[in-house]
Amino acid sequence: MDTNQYLEIFIDESNEHLQSINDQLLELEKNPNDLAIVGEIFRSAHTLKGMSATMGYQDLSNLTHKMENVLDGVRNDQIQVDSDMLDIVFDSVDDLEAMVLDISKGGNGARDVSRVVDLLQAVELGHVLKDREEQEDHSGNSDDIQLDEFTRAVLEQSAEQGLNNFQVEVYLNEDCLLKAARVYMVFDVLEQIGEVVKSQPSAETLENEEFDHSFKVLFVTEEDEEEIAGRINKISEIKQVKVSTYSIDKDESHSEPEIEQKQNINEDEKQEIADKGYKGKQTANKTIRVNIDRLDVLMNLFEELVIDRGRLEQIAAEINHLELNDTVERMTRVSGDLQNIILNMRMVPIEQVFNRFPRMVRQLSKDLNKNIDLRIIGEETELDRTVIDEIGDPLVHLIRNAIDHGIERPEERLARGKEAKGNIELRAYHNGNHVFIEIVDDGAGIDREKVLGKALSNQVVTREQAEKLTDKEVYELIMASGFSTADIISDVSGRGVGLDVVKNTIESLGGNIAIDSELGKGSMFSIQLPLTLSIISVMLVEIQKEKYAIPLSSIIETAIVKKEEILRAHNKEVIDFRGKLVPLVFLKDIFNVPLELEDRDYYSLVIARKGDKMAGFVVDSFIGQQEVVLKSLGGYLSGVFAISGATILGDGQVALILDSNALIK
């Protein structure tokens, strides 16, 4: 039976089980006597082992089996949970993740894991494990073979194809000397007429003869019971063979072999089977796995629809036909609802990014001899997948920076009257059309004078500028290119790269980053990100006869001022906006727009904000608000100043989308 059709399911579920193992191991470290946690880890590992064996990835299955031995020892109070033991198990999980990653890239999952296998076996030395295989897998005294969801999917698929699912129980003679050889011969006979889906005990256990005198296999074939039993009974030293139809339409916890009386199941019976369910079954009925590439194609098609919608709206306004206007209005409402559905389909919880950090913090804490506790809040907050894909690396850098530069060593914290354990809080929450991510630590904070000294020596600012900088402006200097206050450059702190890469990545996503700190108390890095990058609301404006789009998310309001109201300060033109001087940015000069219109007695202004800073963008006229599709300019034009992309308007014209953050800066 071809297993390639199940590859995507296998990879997804393997990653889910590995993430669950990682999370539960961290919980076990906090509660080493909680056997319920060990049970959860063991179940995930056992399922992963079975899935891997079914798919033919034996290296993956074997390593998981070795890890299971250690977990079983913990479960039976024969192995003590401590930091060293967990380090070894974590190392084995790292290898398992690398194997699954290799498989996802088209490899076979092969990997040299001899080092971690030796370590796992070393953990078992000094005690005698109970016969785990006899307890869990000895088929003579156990229930029917238990199914994980993946194996169940294989059996359901084979049943739909008209194949028979059998459970074959084989009993060897008590005086059989070469049990592994007999097992091989049984498997060879079965493979000639069908496909072995799962064995109990596992294939490795059978090969090592670590079982009594009986074993079971789940088997898919076109043949009947008599043919299967007849072929196996021809093998010498076989005492007995039992073949029964394996039914999967019942609760696994009470599963027993039974002979199906009917060859075909009608639709009512199928629904009854589905209603009985099993662990995760009801949820699976309500959700489907969709390849993200298909969602990208769907989003691209809808973006084209948005462009055509804008064109129709413009035509309807020009013709002013009543029925056409009504139809276009209804189409606008329906497409708006469709847009919300598609965007929500692309939203994924930020947990997918956050869940890698507890393990990372644990390892870095050990490497740097620091005691650090990571607290995560708001991991259910959702972001567009395109944002999720890009935000991971900047967050890794910020957390590593907080651990290396922010949190002090235990002895230093105690000397300053703090607890020896440092704390980092990672939180996410929605606010309007944005998501905020904050990294807060209770470490040493940012030393203003040290930052200024480094900035002056690197000629980032002049001494006159330094005297006028606020605290927040000083903190932002650490995000300058090549800026680092580290006395010793380390791999953890980024080798002096600083935070400029983080800042550039966040701003390329249409977001911004702010820093707040108090010396001796700690620091907070706050990231603001848009919910989605594909379809945005903008204010369309004209500069001379060219059209530009300014994202609404950065606009405070629009205004029209007379020329005589313009003031000058520090050789710059400014306006008095609600008691605050706001500098003007003449976009026609920034973008070298050809002058085709006569000069007017007033200015049309778009007041925009970036953090605490504001600016007034001078344009010639306002066109109005509109939802547009953000398109990249491509690699050739990626370096254009203050332009984040382009869009196609309803009349077919291309409008450039301005990067407000770059203009204000």
Could you state, in order of their start, the residue ranges of all structural domains in the chain? 4-138, 142-255, 292-346, 349-530, 535-663
What are the DSSP E strand ranges found in 487-534? 512-518, 522-530
- Fold category of 142-255 in CATH: Alpha-Beta Plaits (3.30.70)
- Which of 597, 653, 592 is CA-nearest to residue 621? 597
- Highest mean pLDDT: which of 227-241, 270-284, 595-609, 634-648? 227-241
Helix axes 149-160, 7-30, angle to 10 degrees: 160
Question: How confident is the model at residue 287, as a pLDDT?
Answer: 67
Determine which one of 62, 165, 401, 512 is catalytic.
Answer: 401
**Contact in structure between 48 and 62 (CB atoms under 8 Å):** no
Alpha-carbon distances of 552 from 25, 299, 499, 560, 644, rounded to whole Å = 45, 22, 28, 18, 14
Where residue 374 falls among pLDDT bands split at 50, 70, 90?
very high
Core vs surface per residue 146-175: b (16+ CB within 10 A) or e = bbbebbbbbbeebbeeebbbbbbbbbbeee
Catalytic residue among 17, 46, 138, 213: 46
Read off the pTM. Answer: 0.61
> Which three-class secondary structure string do you get for 34-87?
CHHHHHHHHHHHHHHHHHHHHHCCHHHHHHHHHHHHHHHHHHCCCCCCCHHHHH
Q: How does DSSP classify residue 4?
A: G
Averaged pLDDT, 392-399: 91
pLDDT band at 177 (very low <50, low <70, confident <90, very high): confident
CA–CA separation, 166 vs 222, rounded Å?
10
Q: What is the pLDDT of residues 35-64, one digit of tens each?
A: 889 888 988 888 888 888 888 888 898 899
How far CA 645 is from CA of 617, 630, 651, in Å, comes to: 18, 6, 18
pLDDT for the residue 268: 45
Residue scoring higher pLDDT (15 or 130): 15
Q: Please tell me what DSSP assigns to residue 25.
A: H
Identical fold for domains 142-255 and 535-663, yes or no, is no
What pLDDT shows up at residue 616? 92
Residue pair 478/515 in contact by the 8 Å Cβ criterion: yes
- Give the pLDDT confidence score for residue 373 in this predicted structure: 92
Q: Which is the catalytic residue, given 13, 68, 408, 476?
A: 68
- Contact by Cβ (8 Å): 506, 394: yes
CATH number at 4-138: 1.20.120.160
Question: Tokens standing for 228?
Answer: 């299967």
Q: Using one digit for the tens of pLDDT, what is the confidence trace for 508-567?
A: 787 888 899 999 999 999 998 887 767 788 899 999 889 999 988 889 899 998 888 888
Task: Please give the mean pLDDT across all residues of the chain.
Answer: 81
Q: What percent of the chain is modeled with pLDDT above 90?
A: 20
The pLDDT assigned to 3 comes to 62
Tell me the C-alpha distance between 57 and 141, whole Å.
29
- Domain 349-530 fold: Heat Shock Protein 90 (3.30.565)
pLDDT greater than 90 at residue 483: no
Amino acid letter, residue 52: S
The alpha carbon dihedral of 648, 651, 652, 656 has a sign of negative
Residue pLDDT, tens place only, 198-215: 888 887 788 778 888 889
CB half-sphere exposure, 94, CA atoms < 13 A: 14
Q: What is the dihedral of CA 492, 498, 500, 502, to 10 degrees?
A: 20
Q: Please tell me what DSSP assigns to residue 490.
A: -
**CA-based torsion, 457, 459, 465, 471: positive or negative:** negative
Residues 376, 382, 386, 387: is their CA dihedral positive or negative?
negative
**CATH, domain range 535-663:** 2.40.50.180
- For the question of residue 401 being annotated catalytic, the response is yes
pLDDT at site 421: 92
pLDDT at 53: 84
Q: Label residue 149 by pLDDT band (50, 70, 90).
A: low
The per-type count for the chain, helices as H runs and strands as E runs, is 24, 22
Q: For residue range 300-313, what is the model confidence (pLDDT) as tens digits?
A: 888 788 888 888 88
- Does 191 qualify as catalytic in the annotation? no
Residues 6+ apart with CB under 8 A from 122: none
Reading across the β-sheet that carries 535-543, which strands appear in turn?
621-629, 535-543, 546-551, 654-658, 643-648
Q: What is the dihedral of CA 13, 17, 22, 28, to 10 degrees?
A: 160
Two tokens, residue 352: 């997918």
| DSSP state for residue 458 in the 8-state scheme | T
What's the chain's length in residues?
665
pLDDT band (50, 70, 90) for residue 453 = confident
Q: Which H or E run includes 626? A: strand 621-629
Three-state secondary structure call for residue 92: helix
Chain centroid, CA 600 distance in Å: 53
Amino acid at 33: N
- Residue 92's φ and ψ, nearest 5 degrees, are -65, -35
- Distance separating alpha carbons of residues 17 and 19, to the nearest angstrom: 5
